Amino acid sequence: MKSLVLTVTLFCLLAVVQAQDDLPFLSEDRNMSGIWYHKAIVNDLNITELRPMKIQKFPLVVRALQKGNMEVTLTFLHNGECVQLEFLMEKIEKPGLYKAVWDTLLTYIYELPVLDHYVFYSECKLIDGKFYVAELIGKDLNENRQALEEFKKFIQLKGFPPENIIVPEQREMCVPKVHNDA
Ligand X SMILES: *[C@@H]1O[C@H](CO)[C@@H](O)[C@H](O)[C@H]1NC(C)=O
Query: What residues make contact with ligand X under the rule CB under 6 A?
Result: 31, 33, 46, 64, 66
To ligand X, the closest distance from the beta carbon of 83 in angstroms equals: 26
- What is the distance in angstroms between the CA of the first residue and the CA of the last residue of the chain? 70
Q: Between the CA of residue 11 and those of 4, 73, 94, 157, what are the distances in Å?
A: 10, 41, 20, 20
DSSP label at residue 115: T
| 123 in Cβ contact with 106 (< 8 Å) | yes
Which amino acid is it at 120? F
What is the C-alpha separation between 108 and 119, in angstroms, rounded?
A: 8
To ligand X, the closest distance from the beta carbon of 16 in angstroms equals: 31
To ligand X, the closest distance from the beta carbon of 25 in angstroms equals: 17
Which amino acid is it at 50? L
To ligand X, the closest distance from the beta carbon of 167 in angstroms equals: 22
Q: What is the CB neighbour count within 10 angstroms for residue 46?
A: 10
